[in-house]
C-alpha cells in the first residue's frame, strides 16, 4: 500500500489551548477539502497537558509539499504560531 503517514506532535502554550483548537477547526476541513493528495488529517489531544498529535496521510512527497505550500496551511499556520510552545515534532513513515 502506498502513502506516507505523519504524526505531528504539537506543544501548545498554557492558556492557548482553546485558541489553538479553534484555528485547527478551520485548518482540518480546509486540508481535506483542498488537498487531493491528502487522505487523512485529524487532531487528537494526548494525555499530556497542552500536547496534541495530528495524524496525517499523504499520497507521496509531492502531496506533503503541496500541503506545506497551500494557502490555507500558510494562512492558518500563521495564526497557530503564537499558540505554540515550540516547533512541531514531525515523524514521517512510509505506509506498508
Where do contacts with a second copy occur on this chain (CB under 8 A)?
1, 3, 5, 7, 21, 24-25, 28, 40, 42-47, 52-53, 55, 57, 91, 93-96
Please say whether the beta carbons of 4 and 95 come within 8 A: yes
Give whichever of 22 and 69 is closer to a second copy, judged by the CB atom: 22
Cα–chain-centroid distance for residue 58?
Answer: 12
Give whichever of 46 and 69 is closer to a second copy, judged by the CB atom: 46
Give whichever of 17 and 69 is closer to a second copy, judged by the CB atom: 17
User: In whole angstroms, how close is the CB of 82 to a second copy at the nearest point?
Assistant: 18
Q: Collect contacts of 27-34 with beta carbons under 8 A, ≥24 apart.
A: 27/72, 27/73, 27/76, 27/77, 27/80, 30/70, 30/72, 30/73, 30/76, 31/67, 31/70, 31/72, 31/73, 34/70, 34/72
User: In whole angstroms, how close is the CB of 81 to a second copy at the nearest point?
Assistant: 18
Give whichever of 44 and 65 is closer to a second copy, judged by the CB atom: 44
Amino acid at each position: 500500500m502506498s502513502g506516507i503517514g505523519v504524526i505531528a506532535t504539537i506543544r501548545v502554550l498554557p492558556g492557548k489551548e482553546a485558541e489553538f483548537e479553534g484555528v485547527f477547526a478551520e485548518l482540518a476541513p480546509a486540508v481535506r477539502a483542498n488537498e487531493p493528495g491528502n487522505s487523512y488529517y485529524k487532531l487528537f489531544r494526548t494525555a499530556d497537558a497542552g500536547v496534541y498529535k495530528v495524524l496525517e496521510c499523504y499520497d507521496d512527497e509531492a502531496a506533503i509539499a503541496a500541503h506545506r505550500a497551500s494557502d490555507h496551511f500558510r494562512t492558518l499556520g500563521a495564526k497557530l504560531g503564537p499558540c505554540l510552545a515550540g516547533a512541531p515534532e514531525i515523524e514521517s513513515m512510509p505506509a506498508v
